[in-house]
Structure 1
Amino acid sequence: MKKEEVILNMKKECLVAVVRAENKEQGEKIIDAIIAGGINFIEITMTVPGAVDIIKAMCEKYASNKDVVIGAGTVLDPETARAVILAGAQYVVSPGLNPATITLCNRYRIPMLPGVLSPTEAIQALELGCDVIKIFPGNLVGPSAISSFKGPLPQAEFMPSGGVDVPNVADWIKAGACAVGTGSSLTKGASKGDFAAVTAKAQEFVKAVAAARA
């Protein structure tokens, strides 16, 4: 999938599932449960043991499903970015802004979503060629941050991550977010081995987003 298609589909889907897990087996079960619930954009964080291997395995497993898009999160440097791209990641997300990582992703035409929390960082991200900018941690600023950023930067596209849950996802979307990232609230059931709860929560998110956009 080309870079433009990934970005277009991300905006269309509007939901990115952030996956953190204790091990590879749990991580793969969480991903399967999320996809079963209707969320197709999966962000596997580098804090998961064996994350690169999980990315490779999930890319292979869902290769025939063109709706599923596997990406990598918590990417802090260009070396890690290159590793996940080689494993098949179709987009890269970071909690911060690292110009060298963005440059590496641009070289291979992979969307890179850097984390920002100030207009200065957002402007830098735009100058470096980022199409979607991650607001992180979203729970520190709230949905009003989107309109505040878009005041001076109407051309920018923002995706909040951190603190996004079913009750407030509509607030983020109506504030102007082009997509939202959600993690702990989505995958909470996995800690007890209840992957059906993860699927159910994913379905709730899908319905909430559809309602907000309607």
Structure 2
Amino acid sequence: MSKLSRLEVLNIMGSTGLVPLFYHEDIEVAKKIIKACYDGGARVLEFTARGDFSHEVFNELSKHVQKNYPGLALGIGSITDGSSASLYIQLGADFIVTPVFREDIAIVCNRRKIPFFPGCGSLTEIAKAEEMGCEVVKLFPGSIYGPEFIKAIKGPQPWTSIMPTGGVEPTEESLKDWFNAGAFCVGIGSKLMIKDSTGSYNYTEIVNLVKKCTSIIKELKGK
């Protein structure tokens, strides 16, 4: 069961503005990634359920986070149906993220008061998601739509909160483009998960890059 309320998760997302995305089948590696992101200032993380037995890894990570990282919201991404959402909520997911909007997942999340961030690609999809209780929608893939899409949506719907994912770079230029366009927060995956020449994660560089991004975002949100 989630340790954070729906409003707490949304407030953390809005204040930090960064959601690192990651997946690894090795629980110890995943723990080190979480520590690196946390040390860099991230307070919301999305574990993408893309591997076999990913629920077993998430189960251990959820317990680890609840014990060692108070105030850190750990959610689950790449969910495709309501039953999977229910499973991960039982395992402690603080929020659910999907590549598309699904009513069955919205119903499950609303019943348990868990934030649901669905992938949307049109104003119609966004409006439908909001009608089903979604406070934040994911713009995916962000590289296809670009910051101008958010700016256009915020015209007729200034209340809409959008999280672009897939196409956001951990650079000042990219972050400035997205937040100046009106992004609520951004999701960044592989671009944050720096590896060394051997293919292993460089945790020190992950800390530094996350710290750089959170600093830039804080400045942009302070304007």
Q: Percent identity?
A: 30
Partner Cα distance (1:83, 1:147) in 2: 36
Aligned residue number for residue 196 of structure 1? 204
Kindly report the root-mean-square deviation, in angstroms, between the aligned alpha carbons of the 2 structures: 1.6
> Is 1:5 the counterpart of 2:8 in the alignment?
yes
Q: Of 106, 109, 116, which residue of structure 1 is paired with 2:110?
A: 106
Alpha-carbon distance, 1:195 to partner:
1.9
Partner Cα distance (1:156, 1:41) in 2: 20
**Unaligned 5+ runs, structure 1:** none
1:194 aligned partner, one-letter code? N
Q: Is the contact between residue 44 and residue 51 of structure 1 (CA under 8 Å) also seen in structure 2?
A: no
Deviation sequence 1:74-105 (CA, Å, 0-9, x none)? 11111110111011001000111111111111
Alpha-carbon distance, 1:22 to partner:
4.9
1:207 aligned partner, one-letter code? S
Deviation sequence 1:182-201 (CA, Å, 0-9, x none)? 11100132742322221121
Aligned residue number for residue 63 of structure 1? 66
Alpha-carbon distance, 1:56 to partner:
2.4
Partner Cα distance (1:85, 1:159) in 2: 21
Aligned residue number for residue 28 of structure 2? 25
Deviation sequence 1:112-147 (CA, Å, 0-9, x none)? 000001111111101111110110011111111111
Q: Is the contact between residue 33 and residue 195 of structure 1 (CA under 8 Å) also seen in structure 2?
A: yes
Equivalences for residues 1-214 of structure 1 within 5 A:
1-64=4-67, 65-167=69-171, 168-189=174-195, 191-214=199-222
Q: Is the contact between residue 74 and residue 93 of structure 2 (CA under 8 Å) also seen in structure 1?
A: yes
Normalising by the residue count of structure 2, what TM-score does the alignment of the two structures yield? 0.90
Question: How many corresponding residue pairs?
Answer: 214
Q: Secondary structure at the match of 1:62?
A: helix
